[in-house]
Amino acid sequence: MRKVALLLVILSLVALPGRCELDLNPAPAPETPPRPALAPLSDAPLEEGLPFDVACGAVLLAEQDSGQVILEMNADTPRPVASVTKLMTILLTLEALDGGRVAQDDVVTVSDTAAGMGGSQVLLDAGERQTVGQLLKAMVVGSANDAAVALAEVLYGGEAACAAEMNRRAKALGMADTMFVNCTGLPAEGQHTTARDVARMSRAVFSHERYYEFSRLWMEDFDHGDGRVTQLVNTNRLIRLMDGCDGGKTGSTREAGYCISATARRGDMRLVAVVLGAGSGKERFAIARQLLEYGFANYRRYPVAAKGARIRGGLPVTGGRRDAVSLMLDGDLTLLVPRGGEGAVELIPELPERLAAPVAAGQVVGSVTVKQGGRAVARIPVVACEDVEPRGLGSGLRRLWRAWPTAG
């Protein structure tokens, strides 16, 4: 019995590759899988300068999934953006719906404050009862200030508290040059953002499928429940003017000029175009469309690597029961490349000459650097495919077993 007890102790102390302790009380799996994190927006554009002239204050064109910026102008200059601000209010509402804090059919009683909002509105009455879903639709389609404040009140108790949460969320998204004072974008001292930060905020909104239930609507009747109906007309005309455009947010005030953040999808590629400070509504739509059409015409998504893809050959292992271990990539990567420019993408492995046993399956042993046009743009981890145990572990245990005296 003493030998058995000792062997159990030894085995419990030996860390064999690939082994783990059994969790007898595992945490329950979440009901909704976590949303995949968006790749960060790139700091530099793929092209220097703009290939065409634009009459506005700032622009930026980026690809949704990779975050790669294609074109930009004055992208980091702080400026007001009017109702484009509501993208953050929309984002907080979408995240509250996804998290179960509210439901689309929850009923909201409209306050005097919300009903009294000026600017674009859906003409809510104080005391009117509307669902969260209806208010969100009014904000997305009609840019309704009264609906935005009603949602801010139900989510955070008031517009000031909502603005504080908007700033916290902006910081988490990396929007370093943004300050929100209200949830509508109506002129307010100290409220500003940049084209780059608008792109960051836009990509977060455009990653929610629920958003497109509303953003694709062109005209919709808004029933106030008392026999009165307000017709909502989408402020984003590009959803009717441009193939593939299915979302975006407009805004205009005297100080901000005419602004838009628009998105369009063709095939497997979604682009985001930000236009700030145009001279008219017609000009902002024309510039946004020109940016998007340029991106679709000149770029494509190029699948560079797939998680689990094997690397040719193996890596030598010293002191192991196997002489080599197989390797594979531990990450997916799709890049935005100029059409016909796939040859400019290089994959450069960075691996040691050999490994020492033990090696665990999934152990990071090196990486592959991805270069585009000679510039490093990504690094993909390389991991071992299987365990490699050290030689002599079993024979050592057997010798110890034989040497241990038996109970007399």
The pLDDT of residue 35 is 62
58-302 and 317-389: same fold? no
pLDDT of residue 155: 97
CATH of domain 317-389: 2.60.410.10
| Measured distance CA(3)–CA(46) in Å, rounded | 67
* Predicted confidence pLDDT, tens digits, the chain (408 residues): 444 343 333 333 333 333 323 233 334 434 445 566 788 998 889 999 999 999 999 999 999 999 999 999 999 999 999 999 999 999 999 999 999 999 999 999 999 999 999 999 999 999 999 999 999 999 999 999 999 999 999 999 999 999 999 999 999 999 999 999 999 999 999 999 999 999 999 999 999 999 999 999 999 999 999 999 999 999 999 999 999 999 999 999 999 999 999 999 999 999 999 999 999 999 999 999 999 999 999 999 999 989 999 988 889 999 999 999 999 999 988 999 999 988 889 999 999 999 999 999 999 999 999 998 888 888 999 999 999 999 875 545 544 544 555 444
d(CA 333, CA 62): 17
d(CA 388, CA 324): 8
Which pLDDT belongs to residue 404?
A: 56
- 307 catalytically annotated: no
The pLDDT, as a whole number, for residue 212 is: 98
Q: Who contacts 365 (Cβ-Cβ below 8 Å, separation ≥6)?
A: 315, 325, 327, 351, 352, 355, 359, 382, 383, 384
- Give the model's pLDDT for residue 106: 97
Tell me the backbone φ, ψ of residue 8, rounded to 5 degrees.
Answer: -65, -40
Q: Residue 374 has what pLDDT?
A: 85
**86: annotated active-site residue:** yes
Active-site entry in 42, 111, 120, 143: 143
Domain boundaries of the chain, sorted by first residue:
58-302, 317-389
The model's pTM is 0.83
Active site residue 326: no
Give me the catalytic one of 42, 83, 111, 367: 83
Q: 58-302, which class in CATH?
A: alpha beta
Q: DSSP states of 314-345 as a string? A: EEEEESBSSSEEEEEE---EEEEEETT-GGGE
pLDDT at position 12: 38
